[in-house]
Amino acid sequence: QKEVEQDPGPLSVPEGAIVSLNCTYSNSAFQYFMWYRQYSRKGPELLMYTYSSGNKEDGRFTAQVDKSSKYISLFIRDSQPSDSATYLCAMSAPGGTSYGKLTFGQGTILTVHP
């Protein structure tokens, strides 16, 4: 079983829709949670970062973490064609031999149609 599970999709939605992307994890040592966005033929770039349970909002994006259920989500409101990309969740644990190391989900391919 992978430490981080993410539905690869693909996910196709019309412009303006609310998008929900999700990851589950099994390692309770994970304390830091990130969402990266990767456009076609580009490297991933950090979109959202959070370290506590609850919600964090940044414009049209909301990251949600539920440590008790080992479940994280990314919501995109009023989705735009420019949001079409692969979204990867990533997690890390503080200290020890895992310090500095990110574990990524498989990535979800999102397409937003005009």
Partner 1 sequence: DAGVIQSPRHEVTEMGQEVTLRCKPISGHDYLFWYRQTMMRGLELLIYFNNNVPIDDSGMPEDRFSAKMPNASFSTLKIQPSEPRDSAVYFCASRVAGAKDTQYFGPGTRLTVL
**CB of 102 vs partner 1, minimal distance in Å:** 6
Q: Smallest distance, Å, CB 64 to partner 1?
A: 18
Both tokens assigned to 53: 């349970």
Q: Which is nearer to partner 1, 79 or 108 (CB)?
A: 108
Give yes or no for a cis peptide into 94 (omega within 30° of 0). no
Q: Which residues have CB under 8 Å from 42's CB, separation 6+?
A: none
Measure CA 101 to chain center.
16
Tell the smallest beta-carbon distance from residue 28 to partner 1 (Å): 17
Contact footprint for partner 1 (CB under 8 A)? 32, 34, 41-46, 49, 51, 88, 92, 97, 100-107
